[in-house]
Amino acid sequence: MVASVANWLLTNLQKILPKNVQGDLSKLAVSGHSRGGKTAFALALGIIKIELEVKISALIGVDPVAGLSKSHLTEPHILKYVPNNFNLSFPTMVIGLGLGNQSILPIAPACAPNEVNYVEFFNECRSGAKFVLTDYGHMAILDNNLGHWSSIACILCVKGDNNKDVARRTVGGLIVAYLEARFLEDPSDYVNITTNPSLAPTRLYPVKTKSQGDTAW
């Protein structure tokens, strides 16, 4: 479905944009949170049933999750547990939520368990950056009013600092800085935040970058 939407952009994006706005599909980014983050990775890796007719130029995974555990991965299986395994031609940003691997109850699974969360996703990236919002849980970036079932899901995840506005602003700022570096050739904010994470509204730790070639973005 995601690939179909991406292909739809080729012939339909310009039709729905205001007349004074020109779409540029040479600068196409995909992103997602949780299982959506895993889906974004699958799309970028070409693990899809139809041919992708557009080129992805940037990938952002926000606390991506690949399953309940290493032995219970969701389809398709994209984690191979091999460093730098992902065959991506562009760097990727991975944003982790530091408390996602903790359980609210001893018998309950974590919302973003070890071995299937952002840590392994970044380990398998060849280049890019990883930022971790240390004091927030897996659902911290979602809207305040989620509806009945989503609210129950939030209760089952460790919250940590429950100031969602700060979490959302931090994640949004990181994404904008990354896309400015990637698409607008303005890496100033990206470099500033990687070299001085204290500029962020909340604690970011650890911050890691790795590069292939001459850039990490």
In tens, the pLDDT along 41-72 reads: 999 999 999 999 999 999 999 999 999 999 99
The torsion angle over the Cα atoms of residues 70, 76, 78 and 79, rounded to 10 degrees, is 0
Contact 131, 96 (CB under 8 A): yes
Residue 77 catalytic?
A: no
Confidence at residue 153, expressed as pLDDT on a 0 to 100 scale: 67
Model confidence at 151, pLDDT cuts 50, 70, 90, reads low
Whether 75 has a pLDDT exceeding 60, the answer reads: yes
Closest Cα to residue 144, out of 134, 131, 122, 159? 159
Model confidence at 214, pLDDT cuts 50, 70, 90, reads low
Residue 41 lies in a domain: yes
Residue 34 catalytic?
A: yes
Whether 212 has a pLDDT exceeding 90, the answer reads: no
CATH number for the domain harbouring residue 185: 3.40.50.1820
Residue 16 lies in a domain: no
Per the model's pLDDT, the better-predicted residue between 156 and 130 turns out to be: 130
Read off the pLDDT of each residue in 135-163 and give the average, rounded to a whole number.
Answer: 81
Confidence at residue 216, expressed as pLDDT on a 0 to 100 scale: 65
- Work out how many domains the chain is built from and give that number: 1
Residue 193 lies in a domain: yes
The full DSSP string for 17-83 is S-TT----TTS-EEEEETHHHHHHHHHHTT-SSS---S---EEEEES---EEETTEEPSS----S-T
76: preceding bond cis by omega (within 30 degrees): yes
- Catalytic entry in 138, 165, 186, 188: 138
Residue 63 catalytic?
A: yes
Residue 10 lies in a domain: no
Residue 3 lies in a domain: no
Number of H-type helices and E-type strands within the chain: 6, 7
Task: Compute the distance between CA of residue 134 and CA of residue 114 in angstroms, rounded to an integer.
Answer: 15
Residue 5 lies in a domain: no
Task: Compute the distance between CA of residue 189 and CA of residue 192 in angstroms, rounded to an integer.
Answer: 5
Whether 154 has a pLDDT exceeding 70, the answer reads: no
The torsion angles phi and psi of 30, rounded to 5 degrees, stand at -125, 145
Say whether pTM exceeds 0.75.
yes
pLDDT digits (tens, 9 = 90+) for 162-198: 799 999 999 999 999 999 999 999 999 999 999 999 9
Contact 110, 103 (CB under 8 A): yes
Task: Compute the distance between CA of residue 15 and CA of residue 183 in angstroms, rounded to an integer.
Answer: 23
Whether 105 has a pLDDT exceeding 90, the answer reads: no
Residue 112 lies in a domain: yes
Closest Cα to residue 132, out of 210, 215, 64, 212? 64
Residue-range definition of the domain harbouring residue 119: 27-210
Residue 6 lies in a domain: no
- Catalytic entry in 33, 34, 127, 135: 34
- Catalytic entry in 63, 127, 186, 211: 63
Whether 116 has a pLDDT exceeding 60, the answer reads: yes
Closest Cα to residue 141, out of 170, 117, 118, 179? 170
